[in-house]
Amino acid sequence: MNLDVVTIGEAMVLLLAEQPGPLRDVATFRRFVAGAESNVAIALNRLGHHAGWISRVGGDEFGKVVLSQLRGEGVDTSQVRIDADAPTGVFFRERRAGGTIEVTYYRRGSAASRLTPEDLDATFVAAGQFLHLTGILPALSSTCREVTFAAADIARAAGVAIVLDVNYRRKLWPPDEARAVLRDLAERCDVVLAGSDEAQLLTGDADPARACRSLLALGPRSVVVKLGPEGSMAMAMDETAKVAPPPVQVVDPVGAGDSFAAGYLASSLRGLELADRLAVANRCGALAATVYGDSGALRGWDDVRSERPLMETLR
């Protein structure tokens, strides 16, 4: 089994509004497949690596759509179970040029929320160089929380590096509960990726540099904080880097963080230095923000390593 990264989580069908404005005024939608972990798996494959994805989907047409897209992207879906007794999750998203984008989820009781530790094949989890986890999976259900920590334990025992992308979703769980669980998970991880607000959630510190140091004290080898229009910063035990993002015209910011995570993982797999990893990750995130949908803009490694201005790459 030849895998670079293994990830675990829920993929859903996204119905994106065709018209701008509140969902109540929208008559038509465009369908995508989306989900933080599956987005990362797709992006990694496009960047020249091989990712495997563990999940459950419903025995319904939307489950077939999810599996078809992931398989079409070259993702290893051999550990995806079809649950005939539960649906594939669905969510709706507004189309807006700016401001807060409203997202409405129909995922309670979904097939993926019924994942259990028995769904984990230890050989598969241990097959990658990295195990990618997010803060979404442990928020879905008590059994999903068990799966998250069980996978981390398998990876640690096998010497697989663990990456946690905090990905806090306030609609799934309250901040106090999330903080306790995610700090516990961060202690088991080698790399932590967080937005500046998520770093503050976990540490109580609004200053990104101090939050980085606080997260490092939990045990990870490195911590990355995304700074929005200021780019990103990272700290390891003996190194600090901060890199500005490339200028782009943002069309849809949703999913940019997943592409950022994929870029960071891909550049880590290729042995790049810390600042170069951030530069690649920034470029991947920026590319993702230039199109609608969560994973449509990334094409290959040459694009994200190019020295050309990003807007020129897009033409």
pLDDT tens-digit profile of 238-257? 899 999 888 766 666 666 88
Q: Which residues pair with 14 in a beta bridge?
A: 32, 91
Mean per-residue pLDDT over the chain, rounded: 91
More confident: 293 or 235? 235
* pTM assigned to the model: 0.92
Q: Residue 315: what pLDDT?
A: 39
Q: In terms of Cα–Cα distance, which of 19, 39, 65, 54 is closest to 287?
A: 39
Pair 54, 7: CB distance under 8 Å: yes
Split into its structural domains, the chain has a count of 1
Three-state SS at 98:
coil
* 223 part of a folded domain: yes
Where in the sequence is the domain holding 250, given as residue range(s)? Answer: 8-306
- Within 13 A of 11's CA, how many CA atoms are on the CB side? 35
* 96 part of a folded domain: yes
pLDDT tens-digit profile of 111-155? 999 999 999 999 999 999 999 999 999 999 999 999 999 999 999
Active site residue 238: no
* 1 part of a folded domain: no
* 311 part of a folded domain: no
* 3 part of a folded domain: no
Question: What would the two tokens of residue 11 be?
Answer: 């993929």
- The C-alpha atoms of residue 47 and residue 252 are separated, in whole angstroms, by 21
Q: What is the mean pLDDT of residues 282-310?
A: 72
**Burial class of 291 by CB neighbour count within 10 A (0 to 12, 13 to 18, 19+):** middle
Question: For the chain, where are the E strands, in sequence order?
Answer: 5-8, 12-20, 29-34, 51-58, 80-83, 90-95, 103-106, 130-134, 161-165, 191-195, 222-226, 232-236, 239-243
Looking up tokens 């669980």, which residue turns up? 181
pLDDT tens-digit profile of 189-225? 999 999 999 999 999 999 999 999 999 999 999 999 9
119, 190, 252, 258: which is the annotated catalytic residue? 258
* 226 part of a folded domain: yes
47: domain CATH number?
3.40.1190.20
* 62 part of a folded domain: yes
pLDDT band at residue 229, thresholds of 50, 70 and 90?
A: confident
* 230 part of a folded domain: yes
